[in-house]
Structure 1
Amino acid sequence: MGAWSEEPFGNDTAADWGWELDDAESWEFVTEVLRGFLAASDADEDTEAIVVAAAETVAHGLGSPTQDDSYTESVTAFVERVGAPPAETVTLARDALRVVRDDGSASAELWAEADDLDAWRDALGRINAALSR
């Protein structure tokens, strides 16, 4: 995962996934990512990056984005097409974000090694707050 910031779409994996939203026709695309992650026994940092991007996409759908820039243009267009997310997707996003934020996650370990764990956790905290409004 090539990361340039702790923002949800601040890495290659999440940015690439964001472009896939151009072809998505419903929230089921996002819901499947979140459901699949929560059903898995373990995940790598790339999967977790996609989960964070999916959670940010849900925040956009709720009208509370934490990142709004050129990297989220596909997210904005997706939300304009499909509207607000279903309640189940919001719940899944909060649950998945909680798992990614845990000390034992692959992403937490990478951010700790880079001495940016606090900044990354702050970014996830902002997403979580947006999902809880």
Structure 2
Amino acid sequence: MGAWDIGPFENDNAADFAAFLDEAEQSERGEILRRVLVAVADSSDYLESDEGAEAVAAAALIAAQLPGGTAVSVAYGPKKPLPPFAPDLRELAAAALGRVLGADSELAELWDETEYGEPWRSDLAALLAVLTARP
């Protein structure tokens, strides 16, 4: 799985995604998050772990800009400043997280096979609560 902790950026796929965001033009970063979230939220096939990890990372970045959100660690997350994200990404991020936590999700299956499955799910539930809170 290439994970060293349960945080949204504490795995190889999310760290690579952060580096990709840092290399992109600032004006393109919101659209990159949108593409990742749409691919996961709209997927009805088995969700591979790498796609799930990127969606969790994208959702964490969006939640970080909302009231109650937690700042993303720059140790593994993007190091360059991110633009304010479009308001509609909030709902899209929530849908993608629901997909990652649901059936046919390799990432959820992998975490559930470990002793950290419950804390991982709890962290994602906290992200989901921020994303779905009424403004």
Instruction: Give the 3-state SS of the residue equivalent to 1:36 in structure 2.
Output: helix
**1:32: which partner in 2?**
35
Deviations 1:80-124 (CA, angstroms, capped at 9, x unpaired): xx22x2122111000110111114411111011122210110110
1:130 deviates by 2.2
In the alignment, the residues of structure 2 paired with residue 98 and residue 59 of structure 1 have an alpha-carbon distance, to the nearest angstrom, of 14
Bigger helix fraction: 1
Q: Does 1:117 align with 2:117?
A: yes
In the alignment, the residues of structure 2 paired with residue 119 and residue 66 of structure 1 have an alpha-carbon distance, to the nearest angstrom, of 19
1:69 deviates by 4.1
Q: Which aligned pairs between 1:1-133 and structure 2 lie closer than 5 A?
A: 1-22=1-22, 23-24=24-25, 25-26=27-28, 27-42=30-45, 43-62=47-66, 64-65=69-70, 67-74=72-79, 77-79=80-82, 82-83=83-84, 85-133=85-133
Which segments of 5 or more consecutive residues in structure 1 lack a partner in the other structure?
none
In the alignment, the residues of structure 2 paired with residue 104 and residue 122 of structure 1 have an alpha-carbon distance, to the nearest angstrom, of 19
- Divergent runs of 4+, >6 A: none
* Number of residue-to-residue matches in the alignment: 128
